[in-house]
Amino acid sequence: MIDPTAASASEEATELAAALSIDDVRAAAARIAGQVRRTPALRVPALDELADAELFLKAENLQHVGAFKARGALHALSRVEPELRARGVITYSSGNHAQAVAYAARAYGVPARIAMPIDAPAVKVAGVRALGGEIIFAGTTSDDRRRAAIDLAEETGAVIIEPFDHPDTISGQGTATLELLEQVAEATEGGGLDALVVPVGGGGLIAGACLVADAEGVRVFSAEPSTCDALARSLEAGERVDVPPGPSIADGLRPVRVGALNWAIARASVQAAFTVDDDELGLAMIRLLLRAKVLVEPSGAAALAVALRRALPIDRASLGRRPRIGVLLSGGNVAPERVGELLARYGGQV
């Protein structure tokens, strides 16, 4: 039996997705100019050799709060009416968006309350608290913390800053891809990417990437943990599906579903979905650390793991050169003990 509420939400998301474009991302970039870092697009010859490609690594691990999430949070908060913003903001997140909202709230001088899972990484909990955010622990799934955030919003009257399923968040996250394509054009004297690989949790980053990449003729591919592959399963089924969050070292990529708006955007644009296991995530993270001296968290290494697999459907012969592949390194908030564990395990394989 079809749930009429879900069907209505899907229709609304489809209509809203059709109204969004690269122009919304450009407008977001203008609004947050000076508030976010223009992170580098790194070139690492040793990784190019492994991937047999020209990799352009967008280092969002160097963004404020160590993740691309600062873009969406700052943009979304800038769009809230001042009198409503003064009541404070609320969000729900496993970590990076939590820190981003705490950071944005501090920048605007308003309180932030964040629902986080009881098993959130200690490094991300500490980051939220250091930024002045008040944490409410709620369950282990994205649904648990979303319900807690809604209850808190009803109690306080504060506004919820959605972690991924909102036009303002999506267009803010899309500014990372907008910058990357500009940087690639500068580095290649007007050339562009042949492919872009994007990690997927709730889907805000890939939805924003699709708005930009579609307009510029760049093919988009997704990267997810093999145990939490909501987008891959949704693309296979032809409809948005839920997945039980399985174990993964990529703690930032474990929502039970892709956002409705994000799905409406991504389903028409993502060329293929790839999944990576913990071994691939750990090895990609340590290769990046030892070969490029760049530290990302396991979630931030997902797109690189896909690129290193050499499995993207690119006709290399017709290009007459190595393909240019953009890789979004989404975040760098990783516990020291995790780094030590993965170094011990994969340091000899780089």
Catalytic residues: 69, 94
What is the C-alpha separation between 346 and 342, in angstroms, rounded? 6
What is the C-alpha separation between 74 and 83, in angstroms, rounded? 17
What is the C-alpha separation between 193 and 180, in angstroms, rounded? 9
What is the C-alpha separation between 218 and 204, in angstroms, rounded? 18
What is the C-alpha separation between 2 and 56, in angstroms, rounded? 44
Identity of the amino acid at 62: L
Q: How far, rounded to the nearest angstrom, does the alpha carbon of residue 18 sit from its chain's CA centroid? A: 21
Query: Collapsing DSSP states into helix, strand and coil, what is residue 327?
Result: strand
Task: Provide the token pair at 287.
Answer: 């290769």
Identity of the amino acid at 170: I
Residue where the block lists tokens 């709730």: 202
What is the C-alpha separation between 289 and 268, in angstroms, rounded? 34
Give the DSSP H/E element, type plus range, for residue 85: helix 82-85
What is the C-alpha separation between 43 and 290, in angstroms, rounded? 14
Does residue 139 contact residue 145 with C-beta atoms inside 8 Å? yes
178: number of CA atoms within 13 Å, CB side? 24
- Max CA pair span of the chain: 61
What is the C-alpha separation between 198 and 304, in angstroms, rounded? 9
Residues recorded for the chain: 350
